[in-house]
Chain A
Amino acid sequence: MDWGSVFIDGILATIGPVTAAYAISAIGLNLQFGYAGLLNFGHVAFMLVGAYGMAITVDVGGPLWLGIIVGILVAAFLGFLLGLPTLRLRADYLAITTIAAAEAIRLVVRSSWAQPLTNGVFGIQGFADSFFDLNPFPPAELYGIGSLVVTGRKLWVMIVGWTIAALLTLLIRRLINSPWGRVLKAIREDEDATTSLGKNVFSYKLQALMIGGAIGGIAGMLLAIEQQNVTPDAYLPQVTFILYVIVILGGAGTILGPIVGAVVFQFLFFTIDALMVNTQANIGWVGDLLTPAAAGQVKLVLVGVGMMVLMVFRPQGILGSREEALIDER
């Protein structure tokens, strides 16, 4: 049993670009769910359209910077389209619409009908070359201390990813601490009361959905760049639910919650993963009992149990305020 390598694997996954992408996506979801109270159960769709918006733009010959702008705009536009018919209705309608739309979009993208544009299930590759051309680090060189090392290629994506996460956190902090953010929180508490105070609730909810969606699109693009590949089946519904776990774990409606949630979640997830791989290899009877296929399921079961424990003992998440969570809504 090699505890050292278990933690190194866990830490490497935690500081990696995928965690940054999840943190960014969670920042968008937190704006919608944590601050505006919008139940967006299809957040993965914003990541998908962001990534495909960028990939297709580059694929048809556009430059990457244009692809990134297109990705952001398409994701925001998706928020507009989904919000327009549903945000005047009760909260559940948005939930139903977004979860259905997310799956519908994924299925359309992977269909043979869309293949000329999206390349169906095979996805699009080779759109990120100009991003890696900008990499100042020699891509094959190793950076780090001891056995905690990453390649220069990975380091470049990490730096860009976490910089974006930090900038977006600052942006959200500025917005939330402004009167605009106060109206958003008021809407989360009570829409009718906020309307009676002369605020255009629909407009604010639409803005939150679009901005949160655009941020989700940025996360999708980062993920696609890291993998140098977009395929429709990377955007399954469970991504949305992992993002909810991250937001709630970190503390919904807190500025740093999404980042803390993403880091803690990824660390636990990958440490458990490495731990299981390690025990399977080193302790005979565990390997007999737990096939690698079963191990994947057990990992998710452990995540579920962990969430339940969190909800029982700390319903407000890691950063949330207990006082706030205990207020009953009369």
Chain B
Amino acid sequence: MNADHPMHGVAPEPGVRKPDPVLIATDLQRSFGGLQAVDVKHLEIQRHTVTSLIGPNGAGKTTLFNLLTGFDAPDHGEWHLNGGPLVGIAAFQVARRGMVRTFQLTRSLARLTVMDNMLVAAKDNKGEGLWGALTGGWHATEHANEERANELLERFGLEHMTDEFAGSLSGGQRKLLEMARALMMNPEVVMLDEPMAGVNPALTQSLLTHITGLRDGGKTVIFVEHDMDVVQEISDWVVVMAEGRVIAEGRPEEIAKNRTVIDAYLGEQHGEAAS
């Protein structure tokens, strides 16, 4: 274990405190009818790391994402971004405060061009207000935004698609566009909901490079994933959920050996069947 590792010395146990958490959730609960979809006692996300959230289907990962980003309201609990409480804050305001999410099913704005997809994400454009739109004076901001968009599109290999409709991109290009678009907001925390779902192996590799690139560029990345191998490769820290709870946390190599995690993934009977 490398002493430079950001998670050096953090104990691999659920709910453990981190040295410099950007996001802290406490007692977060959400139920749908009789089903307790999320029941997280305590969870901290370390700044400037790639934290992956794994767990079997129905473990509550996406629901937790929805709660943290304001797309769903919890029955109970509180959570803070950089010490600021996010309880009762609307989803669009959570995004403005620097925590941006993507969706499991890619949401490109199909009948907008790739450039418009990027520009719509930019913050603080006074032309987005009705008064500003009527009176003008937003073109300088627009040009600056276009420059930034071009840089990002180049970084994600989409510069040749700038004027195409987003709906005409391939599935993989849409994933890249969604990531680039999220960055247009200059977020502090990027939350990716299964970015690797339905993506071919070559693109998976490129997406992984982009994700670590985000961290190296000073962002905190949280992403949901099924595939343990993918997680091993790029995560600094892994949080495992099952039945709405955080059942394990730790460095990837620790998680791979964790008995509880193996049970959750393969079912508790697998050991008995073998014996």
Contact = CB atoms under 8 A, between A and B. Distances in A.
Contacts of A94: none
B129 interface: yes
Interface string A186-211: 10111011111111110000010000
B130 interface: yes
B116 A182 contact: yes
B111 interface: yes
A14 to B, nearest CB: 31
A183 B168 CA distance: 20
A197 B103 contact: no
Given A179-B125, A179-B142, A182-B116, A194 B167 contact: no
B265 interface: no
A295 B143 CA distance: 58
A288 interface: no
Contacts, number: 119
B130 A183 contact: no
Contact of A179 (B91, B117, B119): B119
A177 B71 CA distance: 29
A188 B109 CA distance: 9
B11 interface: no
Main secondary structure, interface of A, reads helix
Contacts of A174: 133-134
B262 interface: no
Interface string B74-107: 0000000000000000111101100011110011
Best-surrounded residue of B102, B128, B134, B168 (most CB of chain A within 10 A): B128
Q: How large is the interface on B (under 10, 10 to 19, 20 to 34, 35 or more residues)?
A: 35 or more
Contacts of B108: 190, 193, 330
Interface string B133-150: 110101000100000000
A122 interface: no
Given A179-B142, A324-B165, A196 B109 contact: no
A329 B138 contact: no
Given A174-B133, A197-B121, A183 B128 contact: yes
A192 B168 CA distance: 20
A178 B92 contact: no
Nearest to B145: A179
Nearest to B123: A198
B111 A196 contact: no
A199 to B, nearest CB: 6
Given A186-B112, A198-B96, A175 B91 contact: no
A197 B95 contact: yes
B167 A329 contact: yes
Interface of B: 69, 71, 90-93, 95-96, 100-103, 106-112, 116-117, 119-121, 123, 125, 127-130, 132-134, 136, 138, 142, 165, 167-168, 171, 174, 181-182, 185
Top 8 closest A-B pairs, CB basis?
A: A327-B167, A178-B133, A193-B107, A180-B133, A179-B127, A198-B95, A189-B109, A198-B96
24 contacts: A175-B134, A178-B134, A179-B128, A179-B138, A180-B127, A185-B109, A185-B111, A188-B111, A189-B112, A194-B109, A195-B71, A196-B101, A196-B103, A197-B92, A198-B92, A198-B95, A200-B90, A201-B92, A323-B168, A327-B111, A327-B165, A328-B167, A329-B110, A329-B167
